[in-house]
Structure 1
Amino acid sequence: MTPCALIRIIRYIALRIRVAACPGTTDPILNARLAQAERLWQQAVEDRKEMVEASGERAFPDGYIFPYNVWDFARPSFFCPHDLERAASPGPSAATNPAPELIFYSFGVNDDSSFEAALLKRTNAKIWGYDYRVNGWAKHIPAHQASRAHFTKAGIGKSVNKNKKPPFFTIRELMKINGHDYIDVVKMDIEGAEFDAISSLVSSVLGGQPDCHNASLPLGQLLVEIHLVDGGASFSTPKNLASFMEWWSWMENLGMRPVNNEDNWIGDNMSGKPRFMEYTLINVLNKRNKLL
Structure 2
Amino acid sequence: MKSAATTTTTRPGSWRSILASRPVVMALTTITFMVLYYQTLSNIQIDRSADCGTASCTSNNNNIINNHKNIDGNSNGISWLQLSPEEAQTGDVKSSTTDTGIDGGGRLGVYPGRRPKTVQYILHEAHKRYERMLKKRQEMLDFYGWGKSGFTEWHRVGYFWLYFPASFSCPHEIERVGPLDDGGKWVCGLSLYEEQPRAKCVMYSFGVNHETRFEGEMLDRTDCEIWAYDASVNQMGPETQGRPKVHFTSVYVGKEDRVDPQGNNWKTIKTLMAENGHDWIDILKIDIEHNEYQTLNRLMDDYEGGTLPFSQLLIEIHVDPQFIQFVDFKRFWERLEGFGVFPWWTEVNLVPVMFGDKPYASEYCWINTKGGAKNILIHNF
How far the C-alpha of 1:62 sits from its partner, in A, is 2.4
Deviation at 1:157, TM superposition (A): 1.0
Amino acid at match of 1:253: G
Q: Which amino acid aligns with 1:29?
A: K
CA distance in structure 1 between the partners assigned to 2:260 and 2:279 by the alignment: 25
Distance between the aligned counterparts of 2:336 and 2:220, measured in 1?
A: 30
After superposition, the Cα gap between the structure-2 partners of 1:193 and 1:111, relative to the gap in structure 1 and judged at 3 Å, is: same
CA deviations 1:208-260 (Å, max 9, x no partner) are xxxx3xx22111110000011255xxxxx321x22111100111111211000
Question: What residue identity is the alignment partner of 1:242?
Answer: V
In the superposition, relative to structure 1, how do residues 195 and 217 fare at CA in structure 2: closer, same or farther (>3 Å)?
same
- Of residues 160, 171, 177 in structure 1, which corresponds to 2:275? 177
After the TM superposition, which residues 42-191 of structure 1 pair with which residues of structure 2 at under 5 Å, given as runs?
A: 42-58=131-147, 60-62=150-152, 65=155, 69-71=158-160, 72-85=162-175, 97=196, 99-141=198-240, 143=242, 146-162=243-259, 165-191=263-289
**Percentage of identical aligned residues:** 30
Match of 1:39 in 2: 128
Q: For the Cα contact (< 8 Å) 2:205–2:286, is it kept in 1?
A: yes
CA distance in structure 2 between the partners assigned to 1:105 and 1:269 by the alignment: 30
Residue matched to 2:295: 197
2:344 is the counterpart of 1:259: yes
- In the alignment, is the contact (CA less than 8 A) between 2:177 and 2:214 conserved in 1? no
Q: Structure 1 or 2: larger helix share?
A: 2
Matched residue SS, 2:370: coil
Q: Could you give the per-residue CA deviations for residues 69-104 of structure 1, whole angstroms, max 9, x where no partner exists?
A: 21022111112344444569x98999x956321110
Evaluate the alpha carbon distance shift between residue 256 and residue 93 of structure 1 in structure 2; reply closer, same or farther with a 3 A threshold: closer
Larger C-alpha radius of gyration, 1 or 2?
Answer: 2
1:43 Cα deviation from its structure 2 partner: 1.6
Q: TM-score of the superposition, structure 2-length normalised?
A: 0.60
Q: How far is 1:285 from its partner?
A: 1.3
Contact 1:62–1:273 (Cα < 8 Å) also in 2: no
Cα separation, 1, equivalents of 2:171 and 2:202? 24
When the two chains are superposed, the root-mean-square deviation of aligned CA atoms in Å is 2.9
Task: Decide which structure has greater strand share.
Answer: 1
Contact 2:226 2:247 in 1 (8 A): yes
Assess if the C-alpha contact under 8 Å between 2:193 and 2:201 holds in 1: no
Structure 1 pair 64–101 and aligned structure 2 pair: CA distance change class (3 A): same
Matching of residue 228 in structure 1 with residue 319 in structure 2: yes
User: What stretches of structure 1 of length at least 5 have no aligned partner?
Assistant: 1-21, 207-211, 232-236
- Which of 324, 348, 367 is equivalent to 1:238? 324
CA distance in 1 between counterparts of 2:224 and 2:134 reads 34
Counterpart of 1:182, as a letter, is W
**Cα 1:98–1:43 shift into 2, 3 Å:** closer
Question: 2:366 aligned to 275, 281, 284, which one?
Answer: 281
Conserved? CA contact 2:312–2:368, under 8 Å: yes
Whether the 8 Å CA contact 1:92–1:122 is kept in 2: the answer is no
**TM-score, normalised relative to structure 1:** 0.77
Partner of 2:35: none
Post-superposition offset of 1:183 = 1.0
Contact 2:254-2:268 within 8 A present in 1 as well: yes
Give 1:57 deviation, angstroms. Answer: 4.8
Aligned residue pairs total 253
Q: Return the letter of the residue paired with 2:218.
A: L
Counterpart CA distance in 2 for 1:167 and 1:82 is 38
The aligned counterpart of 1:247 is 332
Q: Secondary structure at 1:250's aligned position in 2? A: helix
Letter in 2 for 1:75: P
